[in-house]
Chains A and B, each alone.
Chain A
Amino acid sequence: MDNYRALQEFLGRFMPLSGEDFAILKKKSSVVHIRKKDIITDAGDTELYLYFVVKGLIREYFYKGSQQVTTDLISEGTITGSVTSFFTGAPSHFCLQAMEPCSLVAIHKGALEDLYRSNRSWEKFGRIITTHFLLQQEKQILNSTILSPRERFLHFLTAYNHLVQRVPQKYLASFLQIKPETFSRMKHLLRKNHKKQSVS
């Protein structure tokens, strides 16, 4: 039941959610456990689920020829899935892969539609949550536009500090659109600067 508690807390941040309402949501969703390295959604699949990450780490990437380009890293306490595919029904551009064993609360597209149609406050809830993700997306766009590669790197280290240990460096570099050598160098420079500060 811990799995659902994390979801309830997350949703509660957006709008008051009664125990009754949450029970309805619980009935329409399910907990799934994913093994490390499993592909949750493959490129070309039609995404049928949205997932709340209770535990674990997911990497979003696509294939540029034979190369993987990492586009997102998703950890505990947020919603994921191949969102565009989920809403449009078009094949997913992206792959979603578990980097660690994951526990997810999954809701099927049909069940979510039922929820929205059933009650106006679910629609409102949906609107508020969609707003949240739109704003997050816009912030990311603005950051990647305004910040220099170095600033992006520093911002990442602050905002995603908890991921730095969990994710192999090559994926972090890909995600930041920095060459792996540059990533190493920046990380090394950062450590050097910190050392200087702590000595004085």
Chain B
Amino acid sequence: MKNGFNHISAEMAQSALRYFQGFMPEFTVTDLQSLLQYCQIRKFPRKAKLVEEGEVDDYLNLVLSGLVRKYVRSNTKEQTLQLATEGHLVHSELSFLTRQPSLAILETLEPTLLLSLRFDKMEEALEHFPQGERMGRLMLTAMYIKKDERRYARASKTVRELFMDYVAHHPHMLQRVPQKYLASYLNIKPETFSRLKHLGRKPQKINGSSKNLT
């Protein structure tokens, strides 16, 4: 598999650049080109497993296009932990960082293109880049903050508030992701999720749209 700038579109390269600049504004196009030497572009069809339960996760992934679901199985139930779309990092952290078998499963919900960094290459990159340690620390901190905020939201908000907040911030997800996964991710019962979704869809009576007339 070839690496390098040529194999991802200019747009994707731009989003990857913006992603890293989000942590370090001084990260340049040249820096990105150097970093890409350590990375791989990986392509997956829909419903592909990136990581199975019990496998060691070897890759840290940035979603360039597509959608990855991270979930765990507990008895017969599945709990969705993350739904990663373009511009988001996804991996089985615990497995990747400790080199232990993964408890989480990563699966694609759409054909997906990933910018992936293998564990051994990450260690090389950390050595090579003067700012590699800083970038790593900032990325890890961002992951921590995201989960901490989610912890707080789930403990403090009502089911309805969680639903409304999510839809407000991720409107397209309702179309892209099967309802059962969204409900699981938000920790809302499927019936409640349906009801909330329906409430949100009630027709507006303001304009005289013919769609509202029977």
Do A and B actually bind? yes
Kindly list chain B residues whose C-beta atoms are within 8 Å of the C-beta of A93: 152, 156
At the interface, yes or no: A18 with Cβ under 8 Å from chain B?
no
Q: How far is the CA of A138 from the CA of B140 in the complex (A)?
A: 12
At the interface, yes or no: B188 with Cβ under 8 Å from chain A?
no
Q: How far is the CA of A135 from the CA of B96 in the complex (A)?
A: 10
Q: Which residue of B lies closest to A69 (CB)?
A: B155
Instruction: Find B133's partner among A62, A69, A120 (CB 8 Å cutoff).
Output: A120
* CB contact under 8 A between A146 and B94, given known A64-B156, A116-B134: no
* CB contact under 8 A between A138 and B93, given known A88-B145, A130-B137: yes
- B140 lies within 8 A of A130 (CB): yes
- B137 lies within 8 A of A127 (CB): yes
Instruction: Find A69's partner among B136, B140, B144, B156 (CB 8 Å cutoff).
Output: B156
At the interface, yes or no: A134 with Cβ under 8 Å from chain B?
yes
Chain A at the B interface: SS class? helix
- A123 lies within 8 A of B140 (CB): no
Q: How far is the CA of A147 from the CA of B149 in the complex (A)?
A: 22
Number of A residues contacting the other chain (C-beta, 8 Å)?
29
Most buried by B among A71, A87, A127, A139: A127
Most buried by B among A64, A83, A134: A134
Kindly list chain A residues whose C-beta atoms are within 8 Å of the C-beta of B93: 134-135, 138
Against B, the Cβ 8 Å flags (1 = close, 0 = not) of A130-143 are: 11011101110110
Most buried by A among B81, B97, B143, B148: B148
Kindly list chain A residues whose C-beta atoms are within 8 Å of the C-beta of B137: 116, 123, 126-127, 130
- For residues 32 through 82 of chain B, which have their beta carbon under 8 Å from a beta carbon of chain A? 72, 74, 79, 81
Q: How far is the CA of A123 from the CA of B133 in the complex (A)?
A: 6
- B152 lies within 8 A of A141 (CB): no
In the assembled complex, 11 residue pairs joining A and B whose CB atoms fall closer than 8 Å, in A order, are A64-B156, A71-B152, A83-B145, A84-B144, A84-B145, A84-B149, A130-B137, A133-B144, A134-B93, A141-B151, A142-B104
Chain A residues close to B by CB (< 8 Å): 62, 64, 69, 71, 83-84, 87-88, 93-94, 116, 120, 123-124, 126-127, 130-131, 133-135, 137-139, 141-142, 145-147
Q: Kindly list 15 other residue pairs between chains A and B, CB separation below 8 angstroms, not including A93-B152, A137-B144.
A: A64-B155, A69-B155, A84-B152, A123-B137, A127-B133, A130-B137, A130-B144, A133-B144, A134-B93, A135-B93, A137-B148, A141-B151, A142-B72, A142-B94, A145-B72
